[in-house]
Structure 1
Amino acid sequence: MVVLRDGMCPGLEEELLRQLRAADVKTVEDLVSSDIEELARRCSVSYKALFAIRRVLLAQHAAFPVSGADLYQELLSSTAILSTGIPRLDKLLDSGLYTGEITELCGGPGSGKSQVCFSVSVNVSFHLKQSVIYVDTTGGLTAGRMLQMLRTETSSSEQQMEALQRIRIFRAFDVYALLDVLHGLGGGLLQQASIGGGSVKALIVDSVSAVIAPLLGGKQSEGMSLMVQVAGVLKTLAKDFSVAVLVTNHVSRSASGEVQPGLGASWSHIPRTRVLLERADRGPLRRATLTKSSRQPCLLTEELDLQLWTRPESPPSGKRKLPDS
């Protein structure tokens, strides 16, 4: 049995511990198996806060039975769908990015992965008025590019600056720096980023493979362990904080010449949804293929014109062209 202690998870502080012990709730098992509504009344604490603590403890420790009804109610209360700002991609993703889940974009150089990440950032920060965490591992993100895209949405410099302030950018050029950033987000930075800028709804890591792939293979056995750590923290952040996690990944070719996502089979079960981006045959178009999904049939394909910045509600004549990346 795991004894409840101060600081075990956010919100579990000394005063609450005293109240729980007075109610004969002393271990993790005692708490997760209790009637939370009744326990909240006995301890005179918020049901919502106690329920959140219970959910975190369930995720951190050995699995305890949870009813399907509980899981469904939790899903309904915590899931939101975020538009990517690219209508054809939203269609492929069954309306957009889902909070609580990891979505992956994979593709080769120039396939448009970063452009889609920029689009998600601008759409969430400007149209949804919510905050975005953008972790850049390649140095490819610039505030100038974000501003360029925002200028196609509004001529108001004040609105442009407000949207930019909702995008928090972190640089992490190796896997250890990435883990530091992710652990920091779980330890409080995520809530701090929400202050004055709407709650954080999207966490983008562009690219996750850039810092993990160099450590895989050969004699570098710690690479697999580090990849598992990154995956675990991303899943925890997505679920516990109800954010949509978007990551990018490179591709390689198999011995038969087939395009396959990087990081191997061990990583393949991490994203809930995976989209392959490739250059199409016609000019600047990109071909997006759904290769993994729990909602849509796989191998659905859409052509994306990433040079066009389109509001989802705008008619075709409302499309505006962006300069090439």
Structure 2
Amino acid sequence: MCCVDTGKESVKEMAPLKALEAEYPILDPNFQAFCASHGIFSVEDFLIHDLYELAAFAEQQPTSEKLKQGITQVLSIIDTQHQPWLNGMELLDDALYNKHVLSTGCEGIDLLLGGGLREGQLTELVGPSSCGKTQVCLLAASNVATKHMGNVVYLDTGNSFSPQRIAQFVGHIAGRAFDEAGKRIFQRIMNGIVCHSVFDIFTMFNVLHRLVINFPSQLQKGGQVRMLIVDSISSLITPILGNSGSQGRALMISAGYMLKKLAHEHNVAVLASSKAAKFSI
């Protein structure tokens, strides 16, 4: 099992707009600074902003034409990311043949979910503190790594990831004696669960952006990634913004968009825990 503690980076560094500048020169530093002044740091951020209002602000700037061209370019990028229209039969075939169900390891939760966590979809686990959300996340990670032979990416935001608990779950699920063959299997399963420790919301966005960009080339080198777990999202937002404010909701929408994008484009089951329904994705 690998645990990576990701250092804090600035908001601008974690945003992909700068990375797009080489391919789209119109998204130059001036455009990036204009966007940053309105709280826009990524392509995804455009989805939760009033673009008419943004265009109106652009009109007031000396470089209004270039700024409007930049806005148009970002909208074009968003359009290219949209999936093609699918008819009902195509959606049914996709659900039957591509969207497998992964058991969480908890029979009651699997029953409520219609069998378990579905690949290609985001499932949110909401509940108050100390109700067992982390235990469900750890159990799901152990079960997928053991029974479904898949790799798991685990984003730990509260320093609650427990390799000892994972080992207990894996040992119980595998039900094997720890002979030489059993030890090799146990080691392979444990190595398939990769944990990133993220302790602020912007570092989490940075990690998610890197997953979106590098998922095919980096995460699948050691085997197929079947599940992404975020435990939990709300714990990163509540200390900064308290229990109110539209900013918190905007951050959750942005995080939800990125998680759904990962789930859909890479056919991964995503499980995210949250402490309060008001912060749900």
Q: Percent identity?
A: 33
Q: Deviations over 1:183-240 (max 9, x none)?
A: 11111145422223x3111110000111123344688654333222111101101111
- 1:121 alignment partner, SS class: helix
1:238 aligns with 2:263: yes
CA contact (8 A) 1:81 1:96 kept: yes
1:203 aligns with 2:228: yes
Q: How much has 1:136 moved relative to structure 2?
A: 0.3
Letter in 1 for 2:250: S
Larger relative contact order, structure 1 or 2 (CA cutoff 8 Å, min sep 6): 2
Letter in 2 for 1:194: Q
Correspondence for 1:27: none
Structure 1 residues 82, 218: CA separation in 2 closer, same or farther (over 3 Å shift)? Answer: closer
Correspondence for 1:100: 120
TM-score if structure 1 supplies the norm length?
0.56
- 2:114 alignment partner, SS class: coil
Give me the whole-angstrom Cα distance separating, in 2, the residues matched to 1:112 and 1:92.
Answer: 16
- 2:105 alignment partner, SS class: coil
Q: Deviations over 1:120-148 (max 9, x none)?
A: 11111111111111000000002222123
1:114 aligns with 2:134: yes
Correspondence for 1:130: 150
User: For residues 78-97 of structure 1, what are the structure 2 equivalents within 5 Å?
Assistant: 78-97=98-117
Q: How much has 1:58 moved relative to structure 2?
A: 6.4
1:228 to 237, 253, 271: 253
1:194 aligns with 2:214: no
Structure 1 residues 77, 7: CA separation in 2 closer, same or farther (over 3 Å shift)? Answer: farther
Q: Deviations over 1:49-97 (max 9, x none)?
A: xxxxxxx986724x86543333333333320100111222211211111
Correspondence for 1:185: 211
Give me the whole-angstrom Cα distance separating, in 2, the residues matched to 1:235 and 1:118.
Answer: 21
Give me the whole-angstrom Cα distance separating, in 2, the residues matched to 1:64 and 1:126.
Answer: 35
Backbone CA RMSD of aligned residues: 2.7
TM-score if structure 2 supplies the norm length?
0.64
1:169 to 195, 210, 225: 195
Structure 1 residues 69, 215: CA separation in 2 closer, same or farther (over 3 Å shift)? Answer: farther
2:162 to 121, 142, 152: 142
CA contact (8 A) 2:145 2:193 kept: yes
Give me the whole-angstrom Cα distance separating, in 1, the residues matched to 2:167 and 2:122.
Answer: 26
CA contact (8 A) 1:130 1:200 kept: yes
Q: Unpaired segments of 5 or more residues in structure 1?
A: 1-5, 9-55, 252-260, 271-325
CA contact (8 A) 1:190 1:200 kept: no
Structure 1 or 2: more helix by fraction = 2
1:60 aligns with 2:81: yes
Give me the whole-angstrom Cα distance separating, in 2, the residues matched to 1:98 and 1:172.
Answer: 25
CA contact (8 A) 1:131 1:199 kept: yes
1:213 aligns with 2:242: no
Give me the whole-angstrom Cα distance separating, in 2, the residues matched to 1:106 and 1:219.
Answer: 18
1:70 aligns with 2:70: no
Structure 1 residues 144, 92: CA separation in 2 closer, same or farther (over 3 Å shift)? Answer: same
CA contact (8 A) 1:249 1:262 kept: no
